[in-house]
Amino acid sequence: MTTARAQGATIWLTGLPSAGKTTIARGLAGRLRTEGHRVEVLDGDEIRRFLSAGLGFSREDRNTNVQRIGLVAEVLARNGVLTVVPVIAPYADSREAVRKRHQSSDTPYFEVHVATPVEVCSDRDVKGLYARQAAGQLTGLTGVDDPYEPPVDPDLVLETQHQTPQQSADAVYAMLAARGLV
Ligand SMILES: Nc1ncnc2c1ncn2[C@@H]1O[C@H](COP(=O)(O)OS(=O)(=O)O)[C@@H](OP(=O)(O)O)[C@H]1O
Ligand SMILES: Nc1ncnc2c1ncn2[C@@H]1O[C@H](COP(=O)(O)OP(=O)(O)O)[C@@H](O)[C@H]1O
């Protein structure tokens, strides 16, 4: 006898530091868990402590990081988990490879651009990175002195400077609902 399996998906939240990726991921995941879905959040900082330990922020290292996370996300999503990924993923070709990995196993994949302007991110500066860059203590900060290639055709764009965190998380939820995943 076969058992019906829940439909998984990967929801990748891409955007600048302090754009709101982590906050939205947590809000969305909380709601999904409350509703009984299987959910994982692949937190960028935690991944960098373990799975991607030793990697830095060069283009090559960021691509390696994103491909590793993409592999884990696809495995989880293919096995019925709603997998939320709040990771910058600044390079378009790298994100495209992750999308293709999902396509090849027919696993739903959503790219959400957390499109907060850099000025707003810099004001928020949750981890003090923008201040450190301005003070000359950090170089290669995404969106300031390192590239961020905005998605050309994302599944959803969030302008968080005009939204509460709950509204942003609800917009992602609505996208999943429209696709029959929740
Ligand atoms: N130079 C530089 N540029 C960007 N981000 C930096 C940098 N140095 C450290 N950090 C912190 O590391 C987090 C980014 O890690 P990610 O794994 O999401 O980035 S990436 O996709 O590999 O580019 C990122 O987390 P978030 O702020 O949550 O985006 C930063 O806190
Ligand atoms: N609509 C919104 N969505 C997400 N975060 C928001 C929003 N409006 C304000 N914020 C605030 O912006 C900050 C985003 O920080 P964080 O989620 O850690 O960003 P990131 O993970 O992209 O670096 C938080 O302090 C959050 O409360």
Tokens of residue 58, six digits: 């060069």
Task: Report the C-alpha gap between 157 and 151 in whole angstroms.
Answer: 9
**Whole-structure pTM over 0.95, yes or no?**
yes
The residue whose CB lies within 8 Å of the most ligand 2 atoms, and thus the one to mutate among 18, 23, 168, is 23
What lies within 8 Å, CB to CB, of 15 at 6+ separation is 21, 88, 113, 114, 115, 116
How confident is the model over 8-56, as pLDDT tens digits? Answer: 999 999 999 999 999 999 999 999 999 999 999 998 888 999 999 999 9
Q: How many CA atoms lie within 13 A of 157 on its CB side?
A: 10
pLDDT of residue 6: 85
Complex ipTM, two decimals?
Answer: 0.98
How confident is the model over 69-78, as pLDDT tens digits? Answer: 999 999 999 9
pLDDT of residue 152: 96
Structural domains of the chain in order of their starting residue, each with its CATH number: 9-173 (3.40.50.300)
Which atom number of ligand 2 is nearest to the Cα of residue 26?
17
Binding site per annotation, positions for ATP: 15-22
